[in-house]
């Protein structure tokens, strides 16, 4: 893994960025201060060498205490990605908070300590990054669409679906559901970029792109997204349920497999530092969106060797080549277990820009 630049003491880390009430953690030396609206300030001490996070003031109670502590944990792992685990020292009078952490899997009991935070479990806490973590998993009911049997899908998301502070860029990355009103201009510009058109073959006039985006928004198995760094749109994503997709006949598809296509439309955001943020974050979003999703798949052009190498670097395994009517494709796949247990939300070595779908 490439060395990851660590923000200097005194910088601020933003958590719960996809919610109307984000939480900030600031650092001065080994002292952390967590601030959130409507809650008392939380103070902690981080011993990164020992992998220990200790409360140094009252924790408060209820959801506010858990949110504040979770924000401090995210900041600690973000500033110190070398940490394999984090031991919590909550002091006296925090039994209720400790119980809440264990019940949610934020902390577990290990030989090292009664409360140990493991990154592979912590990064599955959807409430920190997902736009609607309050929604339970959509109930399962099998339906038929165009001769394909699949689970009924939840209603399309609206607004921000995911946001995450990127410590090596020191800015937030966010994904939101695309709309015709806000995003037709972005899509039209990007699809007519010669670099994008060479792979997508979707260049054309404004009305063509209006029909294209409107059709995807209406399609229950597709979710078009706009990605932004610090509020600036730079890319267009399409995520899909693989069971209903054209990819399904070419492999042993499972009900909650998801896949994606991408256009990075702004040249300023094609560098390694950016792809190391948005690609694992896109995977992270799909895995958080439904805990039943065990595999993320893709089908880049087999001849697009750089893109396939980029995906392999990011943890995707190349399964096989196969023929679509319009292209020879490579089937790539990433397992949920590998993403979380190999900590693939962190930058991979030698990552390069992914150009197109």
Name every residue whose Cβ is closer than 8 Å to that of residue 12 and which is 6 or more positions away in sequence: 24, 25, 26, 27
Strand partners, 295: 335
Give the Cβ contact number of residue 337 at 10 Å.
11
- For residue 298, the surrounding DSSP H or E stretch is strand 295-298
Q: First-to-last CA distance in the chain?
A: 25
Catalytic: 84? no
Tokens of 300: 């880049």
Distance separating alpha carbons of residues 50 and 83, to the nearest angstrom: 9
Helix count (H) and strand count (E) of the chain? 9, 17
Tokens of 290: 């439904």
Cβ contact 258:286 at 8 Å = yes
Name every residue whose Cβ is closer than 8 Å to that of residue 342 and which is 6 or more positions away in sequence: 315
Sign of CA dihedral 108, 109, 111, 113: positive
Q: For residue 220, give the 3-state DSSP assignment.
A: coil
Distance separating alpha carbons of residues 299 and 304, to the nearest angstrom: 11
DSSP per residue, 59-117: ---HHHHHHHHHHHHHHHHHH-TT-S-EEEE--TT-HHHHHHHHHHTSSB--SS-SSEE
Q: C-alpha angle with apex 88: 66 to 171, nearest 5 degrees?
A: 60
Q: Which of 109, 120, 299, 337 is catalytic?
A: 299
10 Å CB burial of residue 331 (0-12, 13-18, 19+) is: buried
Task: Give the residue numbers annotated as catalytic, written as ranges.
Answer: 299
């Amino acid at each position: 893994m490439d060395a990851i630049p660590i923000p200097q003491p005194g910088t601020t880390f933003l958590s719960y960025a996809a919610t109307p009430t984000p939480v900030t953690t600031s650092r001065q030396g080994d002292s952390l201060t967590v601030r959130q609206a409507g809650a008392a300030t939380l103070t902690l001490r981080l011993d990164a060498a020992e992998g220990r996070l200790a409360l140094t003031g009252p924790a408060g109670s209820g959801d506010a205490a858990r949110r504040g502590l979770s924000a401090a944990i995210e900041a600690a792992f973000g500033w110190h990605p070398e940490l394999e685990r984090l031991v919590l020292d909550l002091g006296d009078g925090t039994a209720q908070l400790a119980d809440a952490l264990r019940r949610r899997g934020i902390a577990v009991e290990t030989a090292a300590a009664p409360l140990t935070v493991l990154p592979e479990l912590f990064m599955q806490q959807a409430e920190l990054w997902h736009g609607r973590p309050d929604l339970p998993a959509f109930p399962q009911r099998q339906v038929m669409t165009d001769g394909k049997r699949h689970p009924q899908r939840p209603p399309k998301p609206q607004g921000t679906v995911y946001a995450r502070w990127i410590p090596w860029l020191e800015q937030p990355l966010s994904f939101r559901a695309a709309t015709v009103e806000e995003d037709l201009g972005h899509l039209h510009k990007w699809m007519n970029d010669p670099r994008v058109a060479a792979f997508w073959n979707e260049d054309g006039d404004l009305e063509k792109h209006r029909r294209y985006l409107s059709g995807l928004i209406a399609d229950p198995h597709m979710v078009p997204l706009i990605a932004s760094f610090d509020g600036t749109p730079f890319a267009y994503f399409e995520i899909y349920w693989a069971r209903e997709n054209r990819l399904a006949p070419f492999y042993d598809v499972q009900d909650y497999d998801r896949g994606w296509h991408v256009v990075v439309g702004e040249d300023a955001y094609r560098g390694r530092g950016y792809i190391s943020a948005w690609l694992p974050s896109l995977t992270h979003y799909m895995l958080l969106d439904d805990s039943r999703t065990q595999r993320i798949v893709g089908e880049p052009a087999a001849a697009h060797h750089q893109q396939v190498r980029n995906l392999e670097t990011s943890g995707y395994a190349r399964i096989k080549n196969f023929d679509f009517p319009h292209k020879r494709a490579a089937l790539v796949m990433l397992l949920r277990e590998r993403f979380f247990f190999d900590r693939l939300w962190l930058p991979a070595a030698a990552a390069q820009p992914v150009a197109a779908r």
